[in-house]
């Protein structure tokens, strides 16, 4: 970590290969497999299936965002998690090392876990699912990137859709109180929060139980927390999965990134030979290609025209024609905003490419490299997780 390499091109190429490969491996194991699949999507889908009646508005609303999740996560468990499956064979861990990696994965998940030492218990419970509050904290700390700007814009648009939909179902304060105090709603949220707690030790509730902490909030606060929890779940399985799970392009070339590589490739001063092709061994490259092929299962597109064949809002529960018309209006507004945001994302990427191709330079006089960002562009997002 303290070595500075000057005039050793091969060492520099090795460092870059190791950095790309290490990041690729960590994100696949921690953020993708553990965070998105085994934790968030699994926990919310289980809570929905176990606690919500099949014709409640909340369950019907969640169906598009949990579509195929049980089958997908079961396939991930069998092919990527169990001993001697594809990931254990490709990673450079023995059985004990892999178990240690799984046991510590939650400690490395970003997105709110780290805030439990910065906020009061009550504030943390309100913030853990509030993506805007988290991004505001990150931006105020100086992490003001294009990623967070797009993440915030997507969150605001997504939350408006979720809140707009449930405001149709529960338009008055009395309606919202009945909703959040309904036994099924409470059990759903508490099971989801309890699952997050069990798999990450994320909630700080002192001597109080989770149900007791929930009861300490006012009705309006509970309604906000339910909306935020639903929105955050959808955020993770759509753009979150696109960010950490759609990595096929990075794994196509085993010399660009690899789950593991031979120790002999290290520089001589690090105990290697300093020679050989910087790439995965054939066995790892083949396994890596098979894993990436498995990740290509398509799910329904998030952008789907109202009334069209792919319109996933048709499954939403409605009491009558008037309520259906209100729900359709909210959905149409959401789809319009998605398309407008997609055009904005494409413009950002076109500007980045134009700056590079025009030969613009940065303050150091080097070529300006401004990489594009596709993880929030709605045209690439799906409603639920694939592997």
pLDDT in tens, 183-205: 999 999 999 988 887 787 766 55
What CA–CA distance (Å, rounded) separates 170 from 162? 12
Helix (H) or strand (E) holding 286: helix 282-294
User: Which tens digit of pLDDT belongs to each residue from 276-299?
Assistant: 999 999 999 998 888 888 777 889
Paired tokens of 127: 């913030």
Low-confidence ranges of the chain (pLDDT < 50): none
- β-bridge mates for residue 382, sequence order: 301
Return the half-sphere exposure (C-beta side, CA atoms, 13 A cut-off) of residue 338: 23
Paired tokens of 205: 């509730």
pLDDT of residue 131: 92
Q: Are 38 and 81 in contact (CB under 8 A)?
A: yes
| Orientation angle between helical segments 146-169 and 173-181, nearest 10 degrees | 100
What CA–CA distance (Å, rounded) separates 12 from 206? 48
pLDDT of residue 378: 97
Paired tokens of 310: 């792919």
Q: Are 247 and 28 in contact (CB under 8 A)?
A: yes
Predicted TM-score (pTM) of this structure: 0.92
């Amino acid at each position: 970590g303290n070595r500075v390499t000057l005039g050793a091109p091969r060492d520099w190429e090795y460092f870059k290969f190791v950095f790309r490969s290490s990041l690729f491996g960590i994100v696949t194991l921690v953020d993708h497999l553990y965070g998105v699949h085994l934790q968030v999507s699994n926990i919310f889908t289980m809570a929905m299936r176990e606690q919500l009646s099949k014709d409640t508005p909340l369950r019907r609303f969640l169906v598009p965002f949990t579509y195929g999740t049980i089958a997908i996560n079961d396939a991930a468990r069998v092919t990527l998690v169990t001993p001697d499956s594809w990931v254990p064979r490709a990673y450079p861990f023995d059985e004990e090392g892999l178990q240690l990696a799984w046991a510590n994965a939650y400690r490395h998940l970003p997105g709110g876990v780290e805030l439990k030492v910065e906020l009061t218990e009550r504030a943390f419970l309100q913030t853990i699912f509030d993506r805007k509050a988290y991004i505001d904290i990150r931006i105020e700390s100086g992490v003001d990137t294009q990623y967070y700007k797009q993440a915030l814009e997507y969150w605001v648009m997504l939350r408006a859709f979720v809140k707009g939909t449930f405001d149709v179902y529960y338009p008055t304060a009395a309606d919202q109180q009945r909703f959040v105090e309904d036994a099924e709603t409470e059990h759903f949220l508490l099971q989801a929060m309890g699952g997050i707690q069990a798999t990450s030790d994320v909630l700080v509730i002192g001597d109080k139980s989770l149900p007791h902490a929930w009861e300490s909030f006012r009705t309006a606060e509970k309604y906000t927390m339910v909306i935020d929890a639903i929105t955050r779940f959808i955020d993770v399985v759509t753009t979150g999965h696109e960010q950490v799970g759609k990595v096929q392009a990075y794994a196509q070339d085993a010399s660009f990134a690899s789950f593991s590589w031979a120790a002999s490739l290290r520089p001589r001063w690090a105990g290697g030979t300093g020679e050989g092709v910087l790439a995965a061994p054939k066995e790892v490259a083949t396994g890596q290609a098979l894993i990436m092929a498995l990740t290509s299962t398509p799910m329904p597109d998030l952008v789907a025209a109202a009334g069209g064949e792919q319109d996933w809002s048709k499954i939403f529960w409605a009491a009558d024609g008037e309520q259906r018309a209100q729900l359709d209006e909210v959905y149409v507004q959401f789809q319009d905003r998605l398309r407008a945001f997609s055009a904005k994302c494409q413009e950002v990427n076109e500007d980045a490419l134009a700056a590079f191709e025009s030969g613009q330079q940065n303050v150091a006089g080097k070529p300006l490299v401004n990489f594009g960002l596709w993880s929030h562009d709605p045209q690439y997002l799906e409603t639920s997780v694939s592997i």
